[in-house]
Structure 1
Amino acid sequence: MKDEELAGRLREAAEAHRPDRARMLARIERGMAGDPAARAVRPPRAAHPWLRVAGATVAVCGVLAAGAFAVTSAGDDGGARGGRVAAAPSSASPSPTAKAPVAPGGLRPEDGPLWTGGVVDPHSNPYWAQSNVTLRTTEPLSALTVELRVAETGGVNSTGSWRSLPEPDFTVSVNESGGYLVYRWTLRPGRTVPAGTHTFAGQYNHAEGDRDATGDYVTARAVRTSGAKAAVGDRFGRSR
């Protein structure tokens, strides 16, 4: 059959076709009225069995991967990635509640308006440490001497010191005496320590490892502007 003949027959069939308009309108009206039969949707083709198995495997793997990530994230505190991080000196201090004698000479942490406490700074490391001394006074002081004694436990040598009070108001010395590295801060004549909380700190190297600070202690002797004297002391490393 030639192409021209086929095309002619198709045109004749198309012209002879008369759509049933009434039937088509009835179907449209049923669809608008919500007839489910007019809106039938072809059901999805069932997946091939091997596709279903593959899909389930992928889902399980996804859950396991998510769980592993969550566990890893929860256990990572950042400390294992960068080693030790340098931080600003901490002024952490113990609670001023101890009453029992804790320093040589029977000194207590509190005497009248004066209180002191000593702790090793939490930013210390296995080679270097900082001992923090906190001094609190509710009255101005006209004289003050603070002594920090760090026991010679091996490799102990000074790397510096500081205090929160003005530097020109104090003379500072560091020396070795009787098995201790001794830091001494002395208020200069004519200067005054105001009421408040003040910090003194000694820094030092030491033998590698966790250093035992239970042999360290601090003492502070002061004269109030009223003329009354006060003396306090505290040991490091004791239970608080």
Structure 2
Amino acid sequence: MNEEIKRQLQEAAEAHEPNRARILARVERGVADPSLRHRTPSVARSWPRAAVVAVIAAAILATGGLAAAVAAMGGAPTPPATAPKHTVPSPTVPSRTVTSAPTPSTRTTTTGPAPTTTSHSTRPTPPADSRIKDGPLWSEGSLDVHSTIYWAQSNLTLKTTEPLTSLTVELRIAQTGDVRSTGNWQTLPSDDFTVTVQESDGALLYRWVLKPGRTVPAAQHVFAGQYNHATGVRKVKQDSYHVHAESSGRSAAVWGGFAPTR
């Protein structure tokens, strides 16, 4: 700023003297004016008029003096610092952490090794001196799996590919001690056969003979002899079967032994 101008402003500020009488007169007229009363706060109206005039005059004089001093210093008055607003902190809401439930892990069940299955032939091995096939016939002898140490059942499975017009089936169960018949059965109609059970040459002999005029159809059939025996696992080495049949004018025969249960 030009030093000359600054000096002149400073001298003018120092020479300025507010006209107290004129200011008080203006305030008095303002207070007495009815049109301005509605703008006066209720608190000011309740005070005596003289007190109000004195307060306003003092404020004007103070303000005038402050303005003159600021002008003399060559700058606009700096507004008073605004008091910081008191901010009421909002209540802190604790954050809610949602933890998902852990996914249940797949439970691994450890099992022992798979049971070992002993491989067996689906059909028992016939004795060396047997003939299990002949013409339309096929045969197999075995000890029933439900046999016990006191009781047993010997099964003969017979298959024919042609109808049979004559058939005789014999099961020989060696007398190894206390062998006694408890029954017998066959899958063919019982009325088609004459069945006998007797002791013969140290063995219990079951015999089925097809009645005259009856026919055995081409299919698989079973003949079974049941018996008690001495306590212990049944020994079948001495047991045997024999089958004789006729079909279409020709004869066929098969024989063999019984394989033990496995």
- TM-score for the superposition, normalised by structure 2: 0.55
Question: Counterpart in 2 of 1:229?
Answer: 251
Task: Give the deviation of 1:236 after TM superposition.
Answer: 1.4
Q: Deviations over 1:20-78 (max 9, x none)?
A: 983125x34xxxxxxxxx4388xxxxxxxxxxxxxxxxxxxxxxxx99xx99xx99xxx
Q: What SS is found at the alignment partner of 1:23?
A: coil
Is residue 39 from structure 1 mapped to residue 95 from structure 2 by the alignment?
A: yes
Question: Counterpart in 2 of 1:153?
Answer: 176
Question: Counterpart in 2 of 1:24?
Answer: 90
RMSD across aligned positions (CA): 3.3
1:42-61, aligned counterparts within 5 Å? none
Whether the 8 Å CA contact 1:176–1:182 is kept in 2: the answer is yes
State how far apart, in whole Å, the 2-side matches of 1:182 and 1:227 are.
28
Whether the 8 Å CA contact 1:96–1:110 is kept in 2: the answer is no
State how far apart, in whole Å, the 1-side matches of 2:254 and 2:96 are.
93
State how far apart, in whole Å, the 2-side matches of 1:211 and 1:98 are.
17
Task: Give the deviation of 1:99 after TM superposition.
Answer: 9.5
1:108-127, aligned counterparts within 5 Å? 108-127=131-150
Whether the 8 Å CA contact 2:127–2:256 is kept in 1: the answer is no
Question: Counterpart in 2 of 1:141?
Answer: 164
Distance change in 2, residues 1:135/1:173 (3 Å): same
Question: Counterpart in 1 of 2:129?
Answer: 101
Q: What SS is found at the alignment partner of 1:24?
A: coil
Task: Give the deviation of 1:101 after TM superposition.
Answer: 3.2
Whether the 8 Å CA contact 1:99–1:109 is kept in 2: the answer is no
State how far apart, in whole Å, the 2-side matches of 1:136 and 1:192 are.
14
Alignment counterpart, residue 208 of structure 1, candidates 225, 231, 244: 231
Whether the 8 Å CA contact 2:183–2:225 is kept in 1: the answer is yes
Q: What SS is found at the alignment partner of 2:194?
A: strand
Structure ID, larger Rg: 2
Distance change in 2, residues 1:192/1:175 (3 Å): same
Task: Give the deviation of 1:220 after TM superposition.
Answer: 0.3
State how far apart, in whole Å, the 1-side matches of 2:239 and 2:212 are.
28
Whether the 8 Å CA contact 2:168–2:207 is kept in 1: the answer is yes
State how far apart, in whole Å, the 2-side matches of 1:116 and 1:233 are.
8
Task: Give the deviation of 1:156 after TM superposition.
Answer: 0.2
Counterpart of 1:95, as a letter, is R
1:78-93, aligned counterparts within 5 Å? none
State how far apart, in whole Å, the 1-side matches of 2:132 and 2:243 are.
9
* Unaligned residue ranges in structure 1 (runs of 5+): 1-19, 29-37, 42-65, 76-92, 103-107
State how far apart, in whole Å, the 2-side matches of 1:203 and 1:194 are.
25
Question: Counterpart in 2 of 1:184?
Answer: 207
Report percent identity of matched pairs. 53
Whether the 8 Å CA contact 1:143–1:192 is kept in 2: the answer is yes
Counterpart of 1:23, as a letter, is P
Whether the 8 Å CA contact 2:124–2:259 is kept in 1: the answer is no
Q: What SS is found at the alignment partner of 1:116?
A: strand
Task: Give the deviation of 1:100 after TM superposition.
Answer: 5.1
State how far apart, in whole Å, the 1-side matches of 2:147 and 2:240 are.
17
